[in-house]
Amino acid sequence: MDKSIILISFILLITSCTNNGKDEEVEVLGCMDVNSLNYNEEATEDDGSCSYYGCTDPSAINYNSQATIDDGNCLSEENSVPGFSLFWNDEFNADTLNLQFWNIERFSKGTFNNESQSYVDSKDNIILIDGKLYIRAKKESPFDPNNPVYTSGRINTKNKVEVQYGYWEVRAKLPTGVGTWPAIWMLNSKIDSIGWPNCGEIDIMEHVGYDSSRAFFSIHNANIHGDVGGTNQQGIYDFDDNENDFNTYAVEWGETYIKGYVNGSLYFNFYKSSELFNDWPYDNPFFLIINLAIGGDWGGVEGIDTSIFPASFIIDYVRMHVKS
């Protein structure tokens, strides 16, 4: 055989092997925005398909021009708060809790305040029905009175929705029955680094079932914490019939003051004092917590009525406004 023919054949063989072994780059079309609902981490070219939840009504005060799927949170002008702009809200019109904004907490019995419930992640305890969030406390079935077991729900917006100052409001219906202890409250986002009570705490609403006609607004800090009853760090609101109706609980919070409201009525008004607060802890973003405790140091003062379960803490909406 001619040597030139052999050489050409060898070159063609080498070239063929090299091409077959080479990885070809494959173009992958998809959504490349990590903040979208359908982000594709394998996409190499954005195809314009990104989807986003948000208010799609141009007439709403919280219209989101980027939104492609309505989240059921649109609010009209009549829902605005004078002097403030809406920052974030959840009207609970979805099928399940939106974990883009909420965390579901899990804690065993007695983790806080000697409470009798465990906080669990269960649809039996945290559920959305007809535009409302139900946080339910339940007793184990079958129930053993000699070894009572209760479960409940606790959620927060830590690391997801944290705001410094503003007007926060929650419309809710309280549970009934001796032993219940629902709360709507706030903690400083620095709690992990500086601890409690140095971080500061704002309790927008606390209620105990054995004292059904009153709601409490409290603040805690390094100066006074724990039981703040009887001090200027707690306000008490007297109801006529608070457990059978929805009421709006709110805080207005600024650089030097904290105010508490029920249905728009001011009943707590605290101003920063340079003499008492060399380290005012309320000058940082806070996150929101909503929970329903059973028993404990306060809720269980008169025991627990085991006939009340399941007990429901019903939240109609959560809205956070900031100064305009």
What positions carry a catalytic annotation?
A: 201, 206
Helix (H) or strand (E) holding 191: helix 191-194
Beta strand pairing call for 69-70 and 53-54 = parallel
CB 254 within 8 A of CB 234: no
User: Structure tokens of 63?
Assistant: 């219209």
Angle at CA of residue 196, ends 194 and 202, nearest 5°? 115
Phi, psi for 182 (deg, rounded to 5): -80, 155
Closest to 202 (Cα-Cα) out of 135, 249, 134: 249
**What one-letter code names the amino acid at 73?**
N
User: Structure tokens of 37?
Assistant: 């609902």
User: Structure tokens of 159?
Assistant: 């690391």
- Quick one: the chain helix, strand, coil %, rounded to 5? 10, 40, 50
User: Structure tokens of 75?
Assistant: 């609010």
Closest to 217 (Cα-Cα) out of 188, 193, 183: 183
CB 215 within 8 A of CB 206: yes
